[in-house]
A and B are shown apart, each in its own frame.
Chain A
Amino acid sequence: MQPFTSHTAIAAPLLVDDMNTDQIAPFLPSRNLKDDYKVMLFHRQRFREDGSEIAEFVLNKPQFRNAGILVTGNNFGAGSSRESAVWSMLANNIRVIVAKSFADIYRENCLQNGLLPIVLGADDADGFIARVVADNGATPFTVDLVSQRIAGPGGPDIAFEIPAADRTRLLEGLDDIGMTMKHIDEIVRFEQQAATTQPWLQRASDSRR
Chain B
Amino acid sequence: MLRTLFDKIWDSHRVGQRADGRDLLYIDRHVLHELHAHHAFAQLEKQGRPVRRADLTFAVQDHTVATKPGRDETTNPGGTAFIKAMREGCRKNGIRLFDVGDREQGICHVVAPELGIVLPGATHAVPDSHASTVGGLGALAFGCGTTELGHILATQVIAMKRPKRMRVRLDGALGAHVSAKDIALRLIADLGVAGARGFAVEYTGSAIAAMPIEQRMTLCNLNIEMGGRSGFVAPDDSTFAWLEGRPYVPQGEMWDRALAHWRTLRTDDGAAFDREVALDCSALEPQITWGTDPSQVVGITGKVPAPETIDASRRAAAASAFSYMGLAPGTPLAGLPVHRVFIGSCTNSRLPDLEVAATIVKGRRVADGVFAMVVPGSSSVKREAEAAGLDRIFRDAGFLWGESGCSMCAGGNGDRGEPGERIVSTTNRNFENRQGPKVRTHLASPATAAASAIAGRIADVRHLVGSH
Chain A positions near chain B (C-beta within 8 angstroms)? 16-18, 20, 22-23, 26-27, 29-33, 44, 49, 74-75, 78-83, 86, 101, 103-105, 108-109, 112-113, 163-166, 168-169, 174, 176-177, 179-184, 186-187, 190-191, 194, 198-208
Contacts and interface: CB of A to CB of B under 8 A. Distances in A.
B433 A165 contact: no
B145 A109 contact: yes
A201 B293 contact: no
A113 B147 contact: yes
Nearest to B17: A183
B24 interface: yes
B18 interface: yes
A26 B433 contact: yes
Interface string B419-461: 1000000000101111001000000000000000000000000
Contacts of A180: 18, 24, 151, 154-155, 157, 159
Interface in B110-150: 115, 117, 119, 121-122, 127-129, 143-148, 150
Given A27-B412, A177-B151, A177-B154, A183 B193 contact: no
Given A22-B410, A23-B432, A200-B254, A32 B155 contact: no
Given A18-B317, A177-B150, A182-B19, A103 B227 contact: yes
Contacts of A31: 64, 78-79, 82, 412
A32 to B, nearest CB: 6
B82 A74 contact: no
Contacts of B239: none
B197 interface: yes
Given A26-B433, A29-B78, A81-B127, A200 B410 contact: no
A18 B197 contact: no
Given A22-B433, A81-B145, A183-B24, 14 more contacts: A20-B293, A27-B410, A31-B82, A44-B437, A78-B194, A86-B145, A103-B194, A103-B227, A112-B145, A180-B24, A180-B154, A190-B15, A199-B254, A207-B248
- The residue in B143, B251, B419 that gathers the most chain A C-beta atoms within 10 A of its C-beta is B143
Nearest to A15: B316
Contacts of A33: 38, 81-82, 85
B193 A18 contact: yes
B329 interface: no
B247 A17 contact: no
Contacts of A32: 78, 81
A158 B257 CA distance: 57
Contacts of B414: 29
Contact of B313 (A17, A108, A181, A203): A17
A80 B431 CA distance: 11
Given A18-B317, A23-B432, A83 B146 contact: yes
Contacts of B24: 180, 183, 186-187
Given A27-B412, A79-B429, A165 B151 contact: no
A200 B119 contact: yes
A105 B64 CA distance: 22
A30 B159 contact: no
B144 A105 contact: yes
A204 B16 contact: no
B15 A181 contact: no
Closest 8 CB pairs of A and B: A165-B20, A112-B147, A109-B145, A200-B250, A75-B194, A83-B146, A83-B145, A31-B78
B248 A206 contact: yes
Given A29-B78, A78-B194, A101-B197, A204 B151 contact: no
6 contacts: A79-B224, A105-B143, A177-B154, A187-B26, A198-B121, A205-B248
Interface string B253-296: 01001100100000000000000000000000000000001000
A20 B145 CA distance: 15
B21 interface: yes
Nearest to A179: B18
Interface string B363-399: 0000000000000000000000000000000000000
Contacts of B254: 199-200
Nearest to A106: B145
Nearest to A113: B147
Contacts of A113: 147
B349 interface: no
A187 B151 contact: no
B36 interface: yes
B56 interface: yes
Nearest to A43: B433
A200 B147 contact: no
Contacts of A163: 21
Nearest to A111: B147
- The residue in A86, A164, A183 that gathers the most chain B C-beta atoms within 10 A of its C-beta is A183
A169 B20 CA distance: 8
B49 interface: yes
A194 B268 CA distance: 23
Nearest to B28: A201
A51 to B, nearest CB: 13
Given A22-B429, A81-B145, A179-B20, A104 B316 contact: no
B237 interface: no
Contact of A79 (B26, B129, B154, B156): B129
Nearest to A85: B145
Contacts of A109: 145-148
A27 B409 CA distance: 12
B151 A75 contact: no
Interface string B71-90: 00000001101100100000
B309 interface: no
Contacts of B216: none
A105 B22 CA distance: 15
A201 B247 contact: no
